[in-house]
Structure 1
Amino acid sequence: MKPLKHEAELFKGAMLAGVKYAEGRGVVEFEATDSASEKLLYIYRLLVHDKVIQPLPEEQVAEKTLRHKLAIWYSKQLPKDHPLLN
């Protein structure tokens, strides 16, 4: 797994987009007390369930790999000339 350039910033954007996606679907309302890890896992499972992203083998489901997977998902939604992609 090769780290993406600007992966941390892409992940932050992915979390915001993922929360918006999940709440927009009406399937969850995240609370301020929910941890980032809980949100990350929920968003990942929802995106897999909706067939938006390919699932990882269950033994590879860890916070580091999920952060990377969501960063990739988010990067594919950005315009080609976005600063985070350069």
Structure 2
Amino acid sequence: MAKLKNEPQLLKKAIEVAENYAKNRGYSGFSSTDSAKDKTECLYRLLVNDQLIQPLALDQENGVNMKHKLALWIARQLPKDHPLLK
């Protein structure tokens, strides 16, 4: 798994976009006590369920791979000239 150049920033952007997507689907939102790990897993599973991203193999489902998958997803959604992709 090759690390992306701005992976932490891409992950932050992915979580922001995925949260908005979840709210548009009717999810009430996350509470302030929800951990980043829980948010990541929940958003990953939502996007897999809606077939917006390819699921990881069962033996590779962990926090690090889910974060990487979300970062890859948002990198493909952003325009080619976006600052996070440079």
Same fold, judged at TM 0.5 (above): yes
Report deviation, 1:9. 0.5
Cross-structure match for 2:36: 36
- In 2, Cα distance between equivalents of 1:56 and 1:24: 25
- In 2, Cα distance between equivalents of 1:23 and 1:42: 13
Cross-structure match for 1:17: 17
- In 1, Cα distance between equivalents of 2:18 and 2:28: 11
**For residue 49 of structure 1, what is the amino acid of its counterpart?**
N
The number of equivalent residue pairs is: 86
- In 2, Cα distance between equivalents of 1:76 and 1:9: 14
Cross-structure match for 1:49: 49
- In 2, Cα distance between equivalents of 1:19 and 1:35: 14
Report deviation, 1:28. 4.1
Cross-structure match for 1:66: 66
> In percent, how many aligned pairs have the same letter?
49
- In 2, Cα distance between equivalents of 1:28 and 1:52: 20
Q: TM-score, normalised by structure 2?
A: 0.95
Q: Which runs of 5+ in 2 are unaligned?
A: none
Two-structure CA RMSD over aligned residues (Å): 0.9
- In 2, Cα distance between equivalents of 1:39 and 1:28: 13
- In 1, Cα distance between equivalents of 2:30 and 2:17: 13
Change (3 A) 1:56 1:28: farther
After superposition, give the CA deviation of every residue in 1:3-34 in whole Å (9 maximum; x if it has no partner).
Answer: 00101100010111111111111034211111
**For residue 38 of structure 2, what is the amino acid of its counterpart?**
E
**For residue 76 of structure 1, what is the amino acid of its counterpart?**
R
- In 1, Cα distance between equivalents of 2:18 and 2:37: 13
